[in-house]
Each structure stands twice: as structure tokens, then as C-alpha cells.
Amino acid sequence: MKFGIVVNEGPYQHQASDSAYQFARAALAAGHEIFRVFFYHDGVNNGTRLTVPPQDDRNIVERWSELATENELDLVLCVAAAQRRGLLDEGEAQRNGKDADNIAPGFRISGLGQLIEAAVQSDRLVTFGD
């Protein structure tokens, strides 16, 4: 089965990101495919490379990056939600006159069309968070 995943909550404010990550790992381990993980609303905060959790806590951003690298996952941050929250890739930083970018490895920024495509191309679209 091919899954699309939507994450609507930030990494440390809500259980949604942890649950989505665990779901993605379990689905991949069971032989399923993840078409795309789309981070929307506060969920885009899962894609900042500037997160520094305490050493005894889990690093959710790093977990997503590693999962993407190991499984060639497409991790997409909604461009409008990301810009509102100060998350920029190199292109968006230059386009908006900012001096830095802060997207974690494995993530990319794109529009809502990527969410629609995930819904169309997947057998199931699973949403985590409000």
C-alpha cells in the first residue's frame, strides 16, 4: 500500500510528529511505500535544522532527516506555513532578502500542490494533528 502522510503539529508541542514518524517507520518496515510526508501549519517546525533538544531527549528533526535519507522519502514543508514561521531554504532566503536558510537535510519547501498530489497518488492519506 502507498501512504501519504500529513503532519500538522510541531515536534515538541504535540504527539503528532512522533506518531507520524513511528507510523512511517512501521509502514516502511512492513513493506509499504510512503509517497510523501507533507508538513503543514505548525508541522513545518519539524524541518528546521536549528532545533537543539537536550542530550537526553529525542531529536525529532534528526529522526525525520535520517528516515528520509535511508528510505529516499520526500519530506515537504508547506511554503506559506514555513515562511510565516521563519523557515527558509536557500532559494526562499535569497528571494526574500534574508541572510540565512535553516532547513534540515532531507526536507524541501513547496506548495499545497504537493499535498494534493500526495492525496491523489496515495492509496491512503493519513493525517497527524489537528
Do residues 87 and 96 lie in contact, with contact meaning Cβ atoms separated by under 8 Å? no
- Rounded to two decimals, the pTM is 0.96
Query: Which of 49, 40, 53 is closest to 103 using CA atoms?
Result: 49
User: Could you tell me the three cell numbers for 21?
Assistant: 514518524
Percentage of the chain exceeding pLDDT 70: 100
Instruction: Name the CA dihedral angle for 106, 110, 115, 118, rounded to a multiple of 10 degrees.
Output: -50
Residue 57 pLDDT level (bands cut at 50, 70, 90) = very high
Domains of the chain, start order: 2-128 (3.40.1260.10)
User: Could you tell me the three cell numbers for 1?
Assistant: 500500500
pLDDT tens-digit map of 80-129: 999 999 999 999 999 999 999 999 999 999 999 999 999 999 999 999 99
- Which of 78, 88, 109, 118 is labelled catalytic? 78
86 is catalytic: no
Q: Report the C-alpha gap between 112 and 80 in whole angstroms.
A: 9
Query: Which of 15, 20, 16 is closest to 5 using CA atoms?
Result: 20
